[in-house]
Chains A and B, each alone.
Chain A
Amino acid sequence: MQSIASLLANKLFQKAIIGVILLNAGILGVLTLPNLDSALAKALHWLDQACMVVFCVELGLKFTVLRFGFFRNGWNVFDFAVVAIALAPATGPLSVLRALRVFRLMRLVTAFPSMRQVIAGMFASIPGVASVAGILLVIFYVSAIVAIGFFGETDPENFGNLGATFFTLFQLMTTEGWPTMARTIMETSPLAWIFFITFILLTTFTTLNLVFGIVVNSMEEAKEEAAWETMEAKGVMPSHQSMEVRLAIIENTVKSAAADLEALQAPIELLVNARKSSKSKDI
């Protein structure tokens, strides 16, 4: 048990796994070529299977060490799901899974700690922007219903039903080809520009806000993580609180310390003088 755990923690073993993932990536890439020699294709398939075996063994070892704690780590669940997909039967209704076996290469992200940190940072910033995403969703839904009401009859192809309208609105949000669509509709409903311009302004702004929020938050998260590591290395207690709160605490502490010290001044002077006079009496 101990030896398995140390094997998993071994740098060389981890590098070997990364090597296998890269090899597997190369194989799956070559397999997409159209005029592949059938002997070579067979060999590649065989190698692909060999890679799979390596992955299964690795995950199996991890599972024996961690037991059910294995599934508590999100990355392990990802690795497991991605390898399990490749093991699923490739025929019948599950044949779509055959194409999904390429997801196995995503393990490259989970194998490198630095890449893992990037993804973790993005995920960590999601709760902070969830309300912005919620607003975007509300805007989309309301606009879709309004658009169907206004333009459903003029342009049923783009605004005929809720699904089509959502797609069209997404196109508007990316601003791709919106002037053509807007001009056509404005021939029948001249005031349509109010809807189009408001929608584009609102959604591009909100999306920008969303993306910007995720990027800034995940950058801060990563910075904080790095700062934590250096703090731990230097033996300083890291704080979980935000800069704003920490600043306020420093402010208050310093202020009360200054006041306390100032108040100490007079009694100490008295004490010192008393001691001096008693000393001089002693002499």
Chain B
Amino acid sequence: MLASMLSLPEKNWFQRLIIGTILFNAVVLGLLTDNDLSPDFRSVLVMLDHLCLLIFVFELSLKLIGQRFRFFGDGWNVFDFVVVAVALAPASGPLSVLRTLRVFRLMRLVTVVPSMRRVINGMLGAIPGTAAVGGVLLVIFYVSAIMATNFFGQAEPQYFGHLGVSFFTLFQFLTMEGWPDVARPVMEKVPNAWMFFIPFMALTTFTTLNLLFGIIVGAMEKAKADEAREDLAAQGIEATEESDALRIAVIEQNVQKISQSVSALKEQLQKLE
């Protein structure tokens, strides 16, 4: 009885039930944003929301009991756990902000649908490869924020008054949104300010693009490799983790061996004549 209960989370129908519950919960939480709801209907919706939460808690407890401490070894399980735990936290006092965050529960859709999970896995997997670019971007931002605060803090305290505000304004520059509205008033007081703004934008937009494309390309390559691995497994071929260049070198070596063997055989057979 207990064993069959604990194997529930692996069952296909159970997983589909969970996806259904997440979608249903999404609709309920969406309806709850309407302020003109009748109090009766609202209390019904809140009850349904609690019911969904109950199902999630049930599912996670089964997993937790079944896997013990290994449960927390999987990042997705930790995500699921945190997201459900947030909803269980008291919704009053200093934690009231958590009430709004209970919506994060719907993010579980991403963790439950395998294809979406693969996309996220690919992106996360690509992050280490682009960490250096991210670091460069961070350094540029930090140095620029300090410079901008020193240069323009007095001229435009609204935009560059202290480090935090400068960071926000610089992020605005990065998105290129309304940057002339900020730059022109500053330039009225500090005419040479363009020498800061324009290199900053050129540098950061380029670096950001570099970063984003690096992650995307890396993620896509990883997704492709995963897919190939599945295909190979289906055909009973062992997949390797080696790089393409190394694999081609091995193939070259083997082809050379083949041609050597063939010519040796040819020589042998020629002796017969």
Contact = CB atoms under 8 A, between A and B. Distances in A.
A binds B: yes
Interface string A132-175: 10110010011011101110100000000110010000000001
Contacts of A150: 100
B11 interface: no
A26 interface: no
B172 A261 contact: no
A145 B29 contact: yes
B224 A272 contact: no
Contacts of B199: none
B254 to A, nearest CB: 4
Contacts of B227: 242, 244
A278 to B, nearest CB: 11
Interface stretch (A49-57, A98-106, A227-235, A251-259): A251-259
Main secondary structure on A side of the interface with B: helix
Contacts of A144: 33
Contacts of A242: 224, 227-228, 231
B116 A134 contact: yes
Nearest to B29: A145
Interface stretch (B103-111, B148-156, B184-192): B103-111
Given A131-B115, A268-B265, A177 B177 contact: yes
A248 B175 contact: no
Given A180-B178, A254-B258, A261-B262, A149 B228 contact: no
A272 B268 contact: yes
A252 B213 contact: no
Contacts of A261: 257-258, 261-262, 265
Contacts of B235: 245
Interface string B235-273: 101011000100110110011011001101100110110
Contacts of A276: 271-272
A178 B175 CA distance: 9
A177 B240 CA distance: 49
A180 B158 CA distance: 13
A152 B36 CA distance: 13
A258 B244 CA distance: 20
A252 B220 CA distance: 25
Given A161-B33, A162-B33, A247 B247 contact: yes
A194 B123 CA distance: 22
Nearest to B264: A265
Contacts of B225: 244
A241 B231 contact: yes
B213 A131 contact: no
Contact of A209 (B110, B219, B248): B219
B30 A250 contact: no
Interface in B185-234: 212-213, 215-216, 219-220, 224-225, 227-228, 231-232
Given A177-B178, A193-B168, A209-B216, A264 B106 contact: no
A262 interface: yes
B6 interface: no
B103 A142 contact: yes
A205 B119 contact: no
Nearest to B262: A261
B263 to A, nearest CB: 11
B103 A268 contact: no
A98 B117 CA distance: 45
A261 B265 CA distance: 9
A177 B113 CA distance: 35
The 6 closest A-B pairs by CB, nearest first: A244-B228, A149-B100, A261-B261, A131-B115, A258-B254, A175-B175
